[in-house]
Structure 1
Amino acid sequence: MTEIPRLLVWPLAASVLLTAFYFLSNEVARYRARIKGLQGPSGLPIVGNLHQATEQYRIWSQKYGPVFQIQLGNVPIVVVNSASAAKNLFLTQTSALNSRPVFHVFHKILNLEVSEFIRDLLLEGKSGALPIDPSDITHRLSLNLSLTLNYGFRAESTKALQTSPLLKEVTHIETEIGKLRSTGSNYSNYIPALRVWDRVKEGLGVSPGPAYGRDIGKRRLQYNKVLLDELKDRVQEGTDNPCIQGGVLKDPEASHLTEEELISISLSMMAEGALTFRQGAETTTPTIGWGILLLAHRPTLQAQAYSSILASGIDPTQPLAPGSPQAHYMMAFTKEILRYYTPLRLALPKATSAPAVWEGTLIPKDTMVFLNSWACNRDPIVFPDPDVFLPERWLGASPQGHYSFGYGGRMCVASHVANQGLYMAFLHLVATYELLPADGVVDAAVVDPMRGIEDVRATRAGPKGVKVRFVPRAEKLFDANLEG
């Protein structure tokens, strides 16, 4: 056996001792950081529960109760897993969790984007002859809603997302911001030692490190400045479309605002819209994706949805015509899609701005709190038979609401817009097309919210890339839809 050279003995011993010291001191720090009196798993040393998925949180609630703590690295997190607990903390004690302002969107904006979404499906799918993955088309719908709301600017075609330098930059930057905000993709937020390692990798050129996040922030400011400058020009020329930032520019009381303050408003509005539209990939795209797959692989459900549209008195040639009655079953279908699949299964983190109390246990100020939307949407007390897709549960005496946009203060401000946009998209889809599996074979696994998910550990619960055929129900009807 080869002996270790004497010169290396002390450095190796020191390294082992330093590693052991860090390990022990870090575990002491993790133990002290835990919220006293609140149950929950401590997880593995160093990483805590970082490696475990949202579904595991729901399972743990059966052992630890509806509110418990986990640890992501060194950071204690309060996880809320039931409807009653969400009401107690996010509504009854809402002052401890600040709310966001609400903004309005014009109905005609939704109408335009949904109609073009329907048109693109026809063109890309060659009138139903070619199976397609609608993700890019759905992404354009999502991005356009955000840009139109804030700047009165939109991508004129799906192709523009790949050819326009500005749109490519917006899409890239907002996608990267989504990754940076992801709970499960940034372990350095929870494990202090990794922050040192990140800087080492950055110095060696192995990974971008913290500088990358700063660069993304600068580039986001730059593209917002470009959008703002272009809007100013349109306002000056009188060619602008109604939008939030345009309203600010035209308001005499806002004339004193500096460019930095105007861009700050833009960033705020884009950030608020992010929960629903900004990344496209976060909620709208996967929700529509799941709905398309479900309709294609459950023909009986699709037939019922189409019959409900006809029974409601809506003209299938102009399903989004002003003054059309609401198709209550389709609205119920939309809500059930959001509940059943929960596209953002772990709501964006909140932090207590004041102490909160759960069953006598004090949750200190500045504690991170997660709403497990996936678990709340499967709370059997609120949703009997939660694992069954049942739009009828939203008809008549329906539940109080789903949790896919968060709950209480700081919930998604665009939830009402998203709900209406999704309803209109599904209504127009079913009225215009018969959706069929690409190979004609119905597969239950494809539409299962666990087996059909692209990445079970991801916060964003998107379906696997499965293609669908969009067959116009009648060319005559479709031509009328295009004209509308």
Structure 2
Amino acid sequence: MNSQDGMHAFRGFLVHEDIQSWAAYSRSLRGKSQAEIYRQWSQRYGPVFQVSLGNTTVVVINSAAAAKNLLIGQSAAFNSRPEFYVLHKVVSSQVSSIGTSPWDESCKKRRKSSATALNRVRTEGYAPILKLEATEFLKDILEHCENGSIDLDFRQYTRRFALNLSLTLNYGTRIADSKDLTGNPLLAEIIEVEAGISHYRQTARNLSNYIPLLRYVNPVLSKLGFGETPGAAAAMGARRVAYHDVLLRQLKARVDEGTDLPCIQGAVLKDPESAKLTEKELLSISLSMMAGADTSQPSLAWAILFLAHNPEIQQKAFEAIREAGILESKDFGNLRVPYVQALTKELGRYFTVLRLALPKATSGPAKWQNYEIPDNTVVFLNSWACGRDPDEVQDAWSFSPERWLGNSEKHPHQFAFGYGGRMCVASHVSHNALYTVYLHLIAHFQICAVEGETSKAALDPLEALADVEGTAATPRTFRAKFIPRDRAMLQDYILDVVETSRR
């Protein structure tokens, strides 16, 4: 094809010459947010463009309309996942999570089983779990906030909440009475391994995925004292499988004894269809559920910081909770507060923790306008750009929970959990978990910003990133003041919920 507007055809698709080479591409992204750079490029090159990552061709989707056209309108071609060398061939050589597995009969079975355990009816049954974990989070904060007189680093509490939520939802078990995150061997192991897995899952930093030569060079460099020890990635994957295997076997024993608590994996095991699943397929479901901690922790952190810096929105949410009568009835598990629901959705959109959704791979030919997207092409959905698409979201750079309320003319798609046939299977329960903890937090604490950390940059979803190149967008700051609204009432509530959970 002929050159058009500074662009030229590559494998039947458009790629701009400025971003064609791997070296130029790397320089463009170094030290910057990959999702934001793609969003900026889309304003110049269009909502869908192609880049070359080493030897790999990647198509990037950057608008809500393009996502709907491709991922909904041509969904059958976008159901698969690419197999990356580092994650699939090394780290997860034994078993991959549902979310990262290529589309095949096994993946279909696993996704169907997990979807059954995560349908709306089942999800309502997990409400006591969400309530307990939100209450345990409040208990942690209350024990250490000193009535709001100190600047509290809440990092360890959000981390414990995220991990316990994943453990309780998936296995019906939790790490109880652990005052120190490193004091419990299982919790310490999970924290270390999940952080390592998150590193190997990154699309931008693991260059061996795109440059095959590095797969032979890196081991040599390691022996010379440069880079990672050979086998470290495989060992990390084996450690993850080991503790999931222990947790799954313990759950099976409780199911056989009839002493298990409602949980996702328990529902899968009790489903007659689960008899068709192998041990590795069951482990794959567990790996997927645990991966949720990667996003729920930073989601909660962003929410705390936002509320601390925006007292007027925090007060509006508190008034909505009070008007709903929840404080008097203590019915935090069943009542819904529309404004807090809207606040939860807007926090997810505004900060978009997983800014590039899990990569997809075409399992058949697809078409964008007049260009063919070949089979087995890697596809990035830029959720960050889609959530800020002015054609989808009015005044997209402003924070407005009202856009999600019933009187709005149009409700945009949130994109925080992806889009299309392979969007997060646990999106409904994940939303409910965040809603529940936000509801509890706002109802029982006034959250205040730390002195000297109230500038716009402290909360900017781009400027405030701890790691601009990381897969999950995590804030740089983890401090706030937590002032109990009614300490005695909160203590009574915590005691009641904890005691009820032990019966």
Q: Distance in 2 between matches of 1:168 and 1:370?
A: 33
- Please tell me whether the aligned partners of residues 180 and 213 of structure 1 are also in contact (alpha carbons under 8 angstroms): yes
Query: 1:111 corresponds to which residue?
Result: 131
Q: Distance in 2 between matches of 1:170 and 1:34?
A: 44
AA at the equivalent of 1:110: L
Question: Which of 80, 83, 89 pairs up with 2:61?
Answer: 80
SS at match of 2:451: coil
Q: In the TM superposition, what is the alpha-carbon distance from 1:210 to its structure 2 partner?
A: 5.5
Paired residue for 1:268, among 285, 300, 306?
285
**Counterpart-to-counterpart distance in 1, 2:457 and 2:237:** 40
Aligned to 1:433, which of 431, 445, 459? Answer: 445
AA in 2 matched with 1:447:
L
Q: Shift of residue 33 of structure 1? A: 11
2:25 aligned counterpart, secondary structure:
coil
Q: 1:39 aligns with which of 9, 15, 18?
A: 15
* Aligned 8 A contact 1:150 1:266 in 2: no
**How many residues get paired?**
444
Same amino acid, percent of matched pairs: 43
Q: Which residue of 2 aligns with 1:177?
A: 197
1:387 and 1:244 mapped to 2: Cα distance?
Answer: 36
1:242-276: CA deviations, max 9, x gaps? 2333345556775687xxx22431223322552xx
Question: 2:12 is matched by which residue type in structure 1?
Answer: K
State how far apart, in whole Å, the 1-side matches of 2:434 and 2:66 are.
28
**CA drift at 1:343:** 0.8
Aligned residue runs from structure 1 range 51-450, under 5 A: 51=27, 52=29, 53-98=34-79, 100-101=111-112, 102=115, 103-104=117-118, 105=123, 106-159=126-179, 161-204=181-224, 206-208=226-228, 211-250=231-270, 261-274=278-291, 277=292, 280=293, 282-315=294-327, 318=330, 320-322=332-334, 324=335, 326-395=336-405, 396-397=407-408, 398-439=410-451, 442-450=454-462
Bigger RCO of structures 1 and 2 (CA < 8 A, at least 6 apart) = 2
Aligned to 2:89: none
Shift of 1:410: 0.9
In structure 2, distance between residues paired with 1:71 and 1:286: 30
Q: CA, structure 1 residues 317+156, in 2 after alignment: closer, same or farther (shift >3 Å)?
A: farther
**Equivalent position SS for 1:77:** strand
Q: Distance in 1 between matches of 2:61 and 2:268?
A: 38
Aligned equivalents of 1:307 and 1:185: distance in 2? 45
Task: List alignment gaps of at least 5 residues for structure 2.
Answer: 1-6, 81-110, 498-503
Q: What displacement does 1:85 show?
A: 0.3
Task: Work out which of the two has the higher radius of gyration on C-alpha atoms and give 1 or 2.
Answer: 1
Q: Tell me whether 153-162 or 80-89 shows the greater mean CA deviation.
A: 153-162
- 1:471 corresponds in structure 2 to 483
Structure 1: runs of 5+ lacking an equivalent = 1-30
With 57-66 and 42-51 compared, the bigger mean Cα shift is at 42-51
Give the Cα–Cα distance (whole angstroms) in 1 for the partners of residues 332 and 143 of structure 2.
Answer: 20
Q: CA deviation at 1:96?
A: 0.8
Report the CA distance shift for 1:237/1:205 in structure 2 as closer, same or farther (over 3 A): farther
Compared CA separation, residues 442 and 34, structure 1 to 2 (3 A):
same
Most deviating of 361-370 and 144-153: 144-153
Distance 1:145 1:366 in 2: 36
In the alignment, the residues of structure 2 paired with residue 419 and residue 437 of structure 1 have an alpha-carbon distance, to the nearest angstrom, of 25
> Aligned residue for 2:25?
49
Letter in 2 for 1:477: M
SS of 1:315's equivalent in the other structure is helix
SS of 2:312's equivalent? helix
Provide TM-score, normalisation by structure 1.
0.85
- Please tell me whether the aligned partners of residues 241 and 283 of structure 2 are also in contact (alpha carbons under 8 angstroms): no
CA distance in 1 between partners of 2:11 and 2:249 (Å): 48
In the superposition, the TM-score normalised over structure 2's length comes to 0.82
Q: State the AA in 2 paired with 1:369.
A: V
Q: C-alpha separation between the residues in 2 aligned to 1:49 and 1:418?
A: 34
Q: 1:64 to 1:314 in 2, by over 3 A?
A: same
Deviations 1:126-157 (Å, cap 9, x if unpaired)?
23222212222112221122222322221114
Q: Would the alpha carbon gap of residues 41 and 434 (structure 1) be closer, same or farther in structure 2, given more than 3 Å must change?
A: farther
Distance change in 2, residues 1:475/1:67 (3 Å): same
Partner deviation per Cα, 1:65-117 (whole Å, 9 max, x = no partner): 10011222221111100000000011011101227442324111111111111
